[in-house]
Chain A
Amino acid sequence: MSEVVISVRELTKRFGDFTAVDSISFDVHRGEIFGFLGANGAGKTTAMRMLCGLSFPTSGSGTVAGYDVMHQGEEIKRHIGYMSQRFSLYNDLTVWENINLFAGIYGLSKSETKERAAELLERLNFASERNTIVGSLPLGWKQKLSFAIATIHRPEVVFLDEPTGGVDPMTRRQFWELIYEAAEGGTTIFVTTHYMDEAEYCSRVSIMVDGQVRALDTPAKLKQQFAAQSMDEVFRTLARGAKRAE
């Protein structure tokens, strides 16, 4: 097996008496596309926020890109990209201004920023939209831009929280092409989704139910294990057992 980039052991997050994430453990390897599945409220986003240094774990341990999630949150942030569920670039800035802002925050020099922005706009076929206000772009374009900006500093891991929610099938396909490209370049992808066809694209998939990881393997092996035709069936078999309401 190749190098481990994310390693999690018994990671737990409690809010009061509610255990959002209940002692999860797994490893993710370099260059993998790791699908992180689960019904709404299963604890995916909370788990992901802990890995990104946005939320302190209640107990357990974990490392991301070699840094401890408990104590080295800021170091982790230097080495990861994150794309949240909600579109969170600045709607009142142009495409270029958003790129420049985040490139600057990640410490890219002016010339590096220019170079990468040009390359990025080229790859997305966005060159003509360089000075468009982001708020006026269609959702699918915004999501692609979000992804491109989340990877502008060439992070080791990118966390994508339901990146294709509400996006049309064409754009979703294009989006996944971007993900593959990044993974081939050695970036590890950690992605949550509700689309089971997307789960099939992942190298490995974990399925969370009620805050716990109930299944973890390649899509092919999971289907075999649950004697299912598709990931959809696997997911429904597991999710049916959920006690936690949405």
Chain B
Amino acid sequence: MRTFLVLFQKEFLQIRRNPFMPKLIIIFPIMIMLLMPLVMTMDVKNVNVAVVDLDRSTTSRRIASHIEASEYLTLATTTAEFPLAMQALEQGDVDVIVQIPDHFERDMISSTAKRISISANAVNATKGGMGMQYVVQTIARTLVELRGEKSPIEISELVTIENRYNPTLNYRHYMIPALMIILFILVCGFLPALSIVGEKEVGTIEQINVTPVSRLTFTLGKLSPYWLIGLFVLTVAMIVARLVYGLAPLGSVGLIYLGAALFILVISGFSLTIANFSETMQQSMFVMFFFIMLFMLMSGLLTPVDSMPLWAQHFTIILPPRYFIDILRSVYLKGTTLVDMWQNFAALGIFAIVFNTLATLTYKKQA
């Protein structure tokens, strides 16, 4: 016990004495939580629309003004010349062109009416696709409105739409749990590996290896400070999410900490295993980066696992963050309880045991 305590104390002292670490541990989560949700957004806004109005009727003007009024769309220009609008599209000033044919208003009720044509720049597929949809919706609403004025039934009342769990469809609320996990991976994944490989490079690990300290005690002494730091970082991140973005977990905070504790064990054990196989910092960093790319891009942090190809979906079974992101999002947005997602906790538990066993076994005191 005393051995563990002196090792733990030594690790903490070293972190504190490091000119860079304490600052990193405090500033890093705050920066990430403040900045990233603002920029990491898939909400498409400021879609520039050009209206080619060949009809010049009340209806066409109404469509244009609705486009202008939309919070997602910006009316960039109204013109009667399609080539002009096309030119603007090519130059990138315009994302979507809406062409209203002549006599559109007059022929609207007849079956031979010419159609409104919409062309979008789909180089940025998300912006093109979403922009197109917004435009279609806006035009449809305008037409519904026009028709509503003529007949007593309002069509818009016939359909209701409700987004469950994230009622405002706020993309930030979807991203914040992912950012918390990225923080964990960086703090509890990178730092222990760097610390071990650092000791290898300086040679102090040899002085430790020639003492009777057990591998488990040394590993625990090495990791436990980072566990505490990880939980501290989580707390900071949760406070920022609450104060700045008004996002508080619907479910139990205890459940979040339980998941976090398991996930920290997983990722730090993983980090240690990599450190045991690395001789230099560069080597360990490159290997870590490889896995972190997989973790970030494939485990559903940024893009839903369900939209991946089937083989990739199967592959995500072995990526631990996949289970933790599920826990975080469910607890935060749906208020799910342990009974409904114990499988995720069990999976993290298994990973924790596997990686930490591996970390202890691959740490060789005698070669």
- Mark A residues whose CB is within 8 Å of B: 52-56, 73-75, 77-78, 80, 82, 84, 86-93, 97, 100-107, 109-110, 133
Query: Contacts A105-B211, A106-B212; is A88 near B202 (CB within 8 Å)?
Result: yes
B366 lies within 8 A of A56 (CB): yes
Could you name 28 residue pairs across A and B whose Cβ atoms are closer than 8 Å? A52-B210, A53-B210, A54-B209, A54-B365, A54-B367, A56-B366, A56-B367, A74-B214, A74-B365, A78-B212, A82-B210, A84-B207, A86-B206, A88-B204, A91-B202, A92-B18, A93-B14, A97-B10, A101-B7, A101-B9, A101-B10, A103-B6, A104-B3, A104-B6, A104-B7, A105-B208, A107-B2, A110-B2
Q: A77-B210, A84-B206 are in contact. List 17 more A-B contacts (CB 8 A).
A: A54-B366, A55-B366, A55-B367, A73-B366, A82-B207, A84-B207, A84-B210, A88-B206, A90-B14, A93-B17, A97-B10, A101-B7, A104-B5, A104-B7, A105-B7, A106-B211, A109-B2
Residues of A within 8 A of B13 (CB): 92-93, 97
B210 lies within 8 A of A104 (CB): no
Residues of B within 8 A of A133 (CB): 17
B5 lies within 8 A of A77 (CB): no
Query: From A146, which residue of chain B is reached at the shortest CB distance?
Result: B207
Query: From A110, which residue of chain B is reached at the shortest CB distance?
Result: B2
A89 lies within 8 A of B366 (CB): no
Top 6 A-B pairs, shortest CB-CB distance: A104-B6, A82-B210, A88-B207, A86-B203, A77-B212, A78-B212
- Give CA–CA (A93, B17) in the complex, Å: 8
Residues of B within 8 A of A73 (CB): 365-366
Interface residues of B in 169-204 (CB under 8 A from A): 202-204
B318, CB-defined interface residue at 8 Å? no
B213, CB-defined interface residue at 8 Å? yes
Residues of A within 8 A of B2 (CB): 104, 107, 109-110
B10 lies within 8 A of A89 (CB): no
Chain A CB within 10 Å — which of B14, B203, B207 has the most? B207
Residues of A within 8 A of B203 (CB): 84, 86-88
Residues of B within 8 A of A106 (CB): 211-212
Residues of B within 8 A of A105 (CB): 3, 6-7, 208, 211-213
Min Cβ gap B221→A in Å is 10
Residues of B within 8 A of A91 (CB): 202
**How many A-B contacts if CB must be within 8 Å?**
83
Query: Contacts A82-B210, A105-B213; is A90 near B10 (CB within 8 Å)?
Result: yes
* B1-34 vs A, Cβ < 8 Å mask (1 yes, 0 no): 0110111011001100110000000000000000
Query: From A84, which residue of chain B is reached at the shortest CB distance?
Result: B206
- Give CA–CA (A4, B298) in the complex, Å: 62
Min Cβ gap A9→B in Å is 20
Min Cβ gap B209→A in Å is 6
- Give CA–CA (A89, B211) in the complex, Å: 13
Min Cβ gap A81→B in Å is 8
Residues of A within 8 A of B367 (CB): 54-56
- Give CA–CA (A106, B9) in the complex, Å: 16
Residues of A within 8 A of B204 (CB): 88-90
B207 lies within 8 A of A77 (CB): no
Min Cβ gap B180→A in Å is 30
Min Cβ gap A48→B in Å is 10
Interface residues of B in 136-171 (CB under 8 A from A): none
Min Cβ gap A213→B in Å is 23
Min Cβ gap A69→B in Å is 10
- Give CA–CA (A102, B6) in the complex, Å: 8
Residues of B within 8 A of A89 (CB): 204, 207
Residues of B within 8 A of A84 (CB): 203, 206-207, 210
Query: From A76, which residue of chain B is reached at the shortest CB distance?
Result: B212
Residues of A within 8 A of B366 (CB): 53-56, 73
- Give CA–CA (A60, B203) in the complex, Å: 28
Residues of B within 8 A of A74 (CB): 212, 214, 365
- Give CA–CA (A102, B211) in the complex, Å: 8
- Give CA–CA (A6, B14) in the complex, Å: 37
Residues of B within 8 A of A104 (CB): 2-3, 5-7
- Give CA–CA (A77, B208) in the complex, Å: 10
Residues of A within 8 A of B9 (CB): 101
Query: From A103, which residue of chain B is reached at the shortest CB distance?
Result: B6
Min Cβ gap B308→A in Å is 45
B211 lies within 8 A of A77 (CB): yes
Query: From B205, which residue of chain A is reached at the shortest CB distance?
Result: A88
Residues of A within 8 A of B206 (CB): 54, 84, 86, 88
Query: From B214, which residue of chain A is reached at the shortest CB distance?
Result: A74
- Give CA–CA (A77, B212) in the complex, Å: 5
Residues of A within 8 A of B7 (CB): 101, 104-105
- Give CA–CA (A75, B6) in the complex, Å: 21
- Give CA–CA (A88, B211) in the complex, Å: 13
Residues of B within 8 A of A82 (CB): 207, 210
Min Cβ gap B40→A in Å is 37
Query: From A159, which residue of chain B is reached at the shortest CB distance?
Result: B210
